[in-house]
């Protein structure tokens, strides 16, 4: 992902805040609000009861197992698009989800970056309840970046790095959640989509981004499949220690109703990582989905300190953060209609 900075972004932030009144008036601990002090809200039923009534059962997300999956993926080494390690990762993912009863499809294409040879790329579409035509998606990229270009020392840029929370945490999270899909009370079909070519960037200023999500969105528009996506949640840099997810601006502008739904569920469940305020604007895989008519929000911690650095290792990833996001998104999956 890339982040817009500077004056343009600040102007957009102000516009977003003006158009996002509902975020500012939702009761939420720690929220900075321009509203006058409100009397305390009426007593609610206990949180567990409320959540159970509205959100279906909570799943026993095993964060220790999720972290073991993360280790296993990181041990493959950097997983650049088209590399041997990427092929190994693809095999591992296919085997894992097929064993859990999902359908696994590779959407293959060729990615051609400026000044590079074309490389084979593949999005992976992991399908649960394939018969259902109304569907939702949880997605992440699963390739890793060729250069650790946020390292202050340029001579370190070309060292291999694990990218533990940048893509890999999304894969590990889905590998764990795959054990629980059958226990969820869903009426919509669920797809996990892993995008290739999000990180296939050698020069952050000139190179093309988002090969995989662009390709996915083009195919979706071109072939008009019988199934339609009611919404999509993108996970990126979400599993660090004590993460914060303010509402990313493109998500708010382009998929406001879905953003409201997800952040409200988090507030009900007391998952405080989903912060009730408008955050920065980020270019990420959700943009292509929104262009294709799939409302998509990005759950992202813009302040993850190890982003594109050699220090983005499994030790920086928190099982508790993964579990919190699982609580919110499994509730969303069960409410989705
Ligand atoms: Zn990245």
DSSP codes, 62-110: -HHHHHHHHHHHHTT----TTSHHHHHHHHHHHHHHHHTT-EEEEEEEE
Rounded to the nearest whole angstrom, what is the distance from the C-alpha of residue 237 to the centroid of ligand 1? 8
Tell me what pLDDT residue 1 has.
77
**Inside any domain, residue 77:** yes
Q: State in Å: Cα 66 to ligand 1 middle.
A: 20
CA of 4 to the centre of ligand 1 (A): 14
Write out the residue range of the structural domain in which residue 103 sits. 58-335
Ligand 1 center–CA 227 separation, angstroms:
30
Question: Is 331 inside a domain boundary?
Answer: yes
What's 154-194 look like in SS3? HHHCCCCCCCHHHHHHHHHHHHHHCCCHHHCCCCCEEEEEE
CA–centroid distance, residue 308 to ligand 1 (Å): 6
Answer whether residue 270 is part of any domain. yes
The enclosing domain of 100 has a CATH number of 3.40.630.10
Query: For residue 33, how many C-alpha atoms fall within 13 Å in the half-sphere facing its CB?
Result: 17
Residues of the chain with pLDDT under 50: 6-8, 10-12, 14-19, 21-22, 24-53
Is residue 25 domain-resident? no
Model pLDDT, residue 41: 46
- The total number of structural domains in the chain stands at 1
Task: Look at residue 12 and tell me if it is in a domain.
Answer: no
From CA 76, how far away is CA 72, in angstroms rounded? Answer: 7
Mean pLDDT value across the chain: 88
pLDDT in the model for residue 32: 32
End-to-end CA distance of the chain: 30
Ligand 1 centroid – CA 307 distance (Å): 7
At 44, is the secondary structure helix, strand, or coil?
coil
Q: How far is the CA of 161 from the centre of ligand 1 (A)?
A: 11
pLDDT at residue 55, as a whole number: 59
Residue 184 belongs to some domain of the structure: yes
Coarse DSSP helix, strand, coil percentages of the chain, rounded to the nearest 5 percent: 40, 20, 40
Q: Is 34 exposed, middle or buried (0-12, 13-18, 19+ CB in 10 A)?
A: exposed
Asked if residue 27 is part of any domain, the answer here is no
Question: How is residue 269 written in tokens?
Answer: 């469940």
Instruction: Give domain status of residue 53, yes or no.
Output: no
How far is the centre of ligand 1, averaged over its atoms, from the C-alpha of 265 (Å)?
Answer: 27
What pLDDT is attached to residue 54? 56
């Amino acid at each position: 992902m890339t982040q817009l900075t500077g004056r343009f972004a600040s102007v957009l932030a102000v516009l977003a805040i003006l158009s996002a009144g509902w975020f500012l008036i939702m009761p939420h601990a720690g929220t900075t609000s321009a509203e006058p002090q409100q009397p305390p809200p009426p007593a609610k039923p206990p949180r567990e009861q409320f959540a159970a009534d509205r959100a279906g059962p909570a799943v026993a997300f095993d964060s220790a197992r999720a972290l073991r999956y993360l280790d296993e993926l990181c041990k493959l080494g950097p997983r650049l698009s088209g590399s041997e390690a990427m092929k190994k990762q693809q095999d591992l993912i296919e085997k894992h989800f097929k064993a859990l009863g999902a359908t696994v499809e590779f959407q293959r294409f060729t990615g051609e970056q400026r000044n590079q040879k074309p490389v084979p790329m593949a999005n992976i579409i992991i399908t649960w309840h394939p018969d259902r035509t109304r569907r939702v998606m949880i997605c992440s990229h699963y390739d890793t970046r060729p250069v650790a270009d946020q390292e202050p020392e340029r001579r370190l840029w070309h060292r291999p790095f694990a990218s533990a929370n940048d893509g890999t945490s999304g894969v590990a999270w889905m590998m764990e959640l795959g054990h629980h899909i059958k226990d969820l009370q869903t009426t919509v079909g669920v797809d996990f989509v892993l995008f290739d070519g999000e990180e296939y960037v050698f020069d952050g200023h000139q190179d093309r981004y988002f090969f995989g999500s662009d390709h996915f969105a083009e195919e979706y528009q071109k072939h008009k499949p019988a199934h339609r996506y009611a919404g999509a949640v993108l996970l990126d840099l979400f599993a660090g220690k004590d993460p914060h997810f303010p509402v990313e601006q493109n998500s708010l502008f382009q998929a406001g109703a879905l953003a409201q739904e997800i952040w409200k569920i988090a507030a009900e469940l007391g998952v405080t990582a989903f912060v009730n305020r408008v955050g920065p604007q980020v270019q990420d895989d959700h943009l292509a989905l929104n262009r294709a008519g799939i409302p998509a929000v990005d759950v992202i911690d813009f302040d993850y300190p190890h982003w594109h650095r050699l220090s983005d290792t499994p030790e920086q990833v928190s099982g508790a953060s993964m579990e919190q996001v699982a609580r919110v998104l499994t509730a969303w999956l069960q409410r989705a209609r």
